[in-house]
């Protein structure tokens, strides 16, 4: 079967232009068209060419809606869609169910797992090694000793025990921690890293020293981490979220920290991004809040691996007419 050449439409925001330009270097034999609005792709849309889409950022929703408006036709212009990110909630795919029906959608699952797991471990160490106190003492030129809190033996409860969650578990087990992962379907009660896996973490909340959020952003997980959950945690516990901002209630987080319901929180994701200046999270002291601007997985060459994965999927389609790996379920949202 002869496969027609594919033109790739890519719509990416949030990265330096040099990184976006580097995509062309990684895909030298592919016709690339860059844009941030549907109008940017109007010419290629009407060209009759077969298309693929690389996307990152909320602007991709409108572009997909426009490029995939031929859903009534048996032969679709877009052959497959690829998200550079692992999370796909920003694209609001459920609203495009009609448009993307039958079009394979792929994502960057597992590509960012290790670096995100490192950030979770850093957050644990930040609070248990009193990093803010060390910096403050240095600035004040005070050589005063104090006790640290070891992480060995501490209990970790990870909500969303998929690719990223399992790497968080692996590193935590390596530090001697007692780790339980929560996921919808449990294949084995203990995984290859020694992490216990359960389908419901409620009974363990009151024992956990660290509660880690790695949940996808779906209707079912909206504001999952709220005051009701925090009140079931220990007052000495720390909440860490590297999943999606929509899974947390930030008003409740601020209240829980200000009233001593939980000890501290480390957040890399937020309900609204950029985080508004009016957010109460900004005003929380360093011993209660570690805040990073959704960059826990940012590295100098972070686009290289996801673009190479796209190239692999692209090659699969070019040779077989199929793309089966790293598929996303529109219904599940991941």
Q: Does residue 45 share a domain with residue 127?
A: no
Which residues in 69-97 are b (16+ Cβ under 10 Å) and which e? eeeeeeebbbbbbbbbbbbbbbbebeebe
Q: Does residue 11 share a domain with residue 135?
A: no
Say what percent of the chain tops pLDDT 90. Answer: 94
What is the span of the domain harbouring residue 195?
Answer: 112-291
Q: Does residue 190 share a domain with residue 148?
A: yes
Q: What is the pLDDT of residues 126-175, one digit of tens each?
A: 999 999 999 999 999 999 999 999 999 999 999 999 999 999 999 999 99
Of the candidates 41, 114, 54, 56, which has an alpha carbon nearest to the alpha carbon of residue 89?
56
Q: Does residue 91 share a domain with residue 52?
A: yes
Counting every residue written for the chain, the total comes to 334
Q: Is the pLDDT of residue 109 over 60?
A: yes
Q: Does residue 280 share a domain with residue 166?
A: yes
Q: Is the pLDDT of residue 14 over 70?
A: yes
Q: How confident is the model at residue 19 (pLDDT cuts 50, 70, 90)?
A: confident
pLDDT at 88: 97
Cis previous bond, 131, omega within 30: no
CATH of the domain at 247: 3.40.50.720
pLDDT at 1: 53
pLDDT at 5: 87
Q: Does residue 264 share a domain with residue 148?
A: yes
Q: What is the pLDDT of residues 261-281, one digit of tens each?
A: 999 999 999 999 999 999 999
In whole angstroms, what is the distance from residue 172 CA to residue 200 CA? Answer: 20
Say how far residue 45 (Cα) sits from the centre of its chain: 30
Q: What is the pLDDT of residues 290-323, one digit of tens each?
A: 999 999 999 998 999 999 999 999 999 999 999 9
DSSP state of 100: H
Q: Is the dihedral of CA 106, 112, 114, 118 positive or negative?
A: negative
In whole angstroms, what is the distance from residue 98 CA to residue 101 CA? Answer: 5
Backbone angles phi and psi of 95, in degrees to 5: -70, -15
Global pTM reads 0.95
pLDDT at 87: 95
Of the candidates 158, 160, 184, which has an alpha carbon nearest to the alpha carbon of residue 172?
158
Ordered DSSP codes for 7-63: EEEEEE-SS-HHHHHHHHHH-TTSEEEE-SSGGGGHHHHTTT-EEEEEEESTTHHHH
CATH of the domain at 51: 3.40.50
């Amino acid at each position: 079967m002869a496969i027609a050449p594919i033109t790739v439409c890519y719509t990416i925001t949030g990265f330096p232009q040099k990184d976006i330009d580097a995509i062309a270097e990684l895909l030298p034999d592919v016709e690339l068209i860059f844009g941030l609005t549907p109008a940017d792709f109007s010419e290629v849309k009407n060209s009759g060419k077969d298309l693929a889409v690389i996307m990152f950022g909320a602007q991709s929703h409108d572009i997909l809606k426009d490029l995939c408006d031929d859903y009534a036709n048996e032969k679709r212009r877009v052959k497959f869609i690829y998200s550079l990110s692992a999370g796909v909630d920003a694209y609001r795919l459920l609203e495009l169910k009609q448009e993307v029906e039958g079009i394979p959608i792929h994502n960057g699952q597992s590509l960012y797992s290790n670096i995100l797991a490192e950030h979770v471990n850093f957050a644990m160490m930040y609070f248990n090694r009193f990093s803010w106190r060390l910096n403050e003492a240095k600035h004040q030129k005070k050589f005063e000793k104090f006790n640290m809190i070891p992480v060995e033996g501490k209990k970790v409860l990870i909500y969303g025990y998929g690719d990223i969650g399992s790497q968080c578990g692996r590193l935590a087990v390596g530090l001697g921690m007692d780790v339980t992962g929560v996921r919808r379907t449990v294949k084995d009660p203990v995984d290859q890293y020694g992490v216990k896996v359960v389908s419901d973490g409620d009974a363990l909340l009151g024992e956990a020293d660290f509660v880690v959020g790695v949940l996808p952003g779906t209707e079912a997980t909206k504001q999952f981490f709220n005051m009701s959950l925090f009140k079931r945690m220990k007052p000495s516990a720390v909440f860490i979220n590297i999943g999606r901002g929509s899974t947390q209630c930030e008003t409740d987080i601020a209240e829980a920290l200000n009233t001593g319901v939980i000890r501290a929180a480390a957040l890399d994701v937020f309900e609204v991004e950029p985080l508004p200046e009016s957010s109460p999270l900004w005003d929380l002291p360093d011993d209660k809040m570690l805040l990073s601007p959704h960059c826990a997985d940012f590295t100098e060459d972070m686009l290289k691996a996801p673009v190479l994965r796209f190239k692999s999927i692209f090659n699969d389609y070019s040779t077989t007419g199929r793309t089966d790996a790293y598929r996303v379920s529109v219904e599940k949202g991941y």
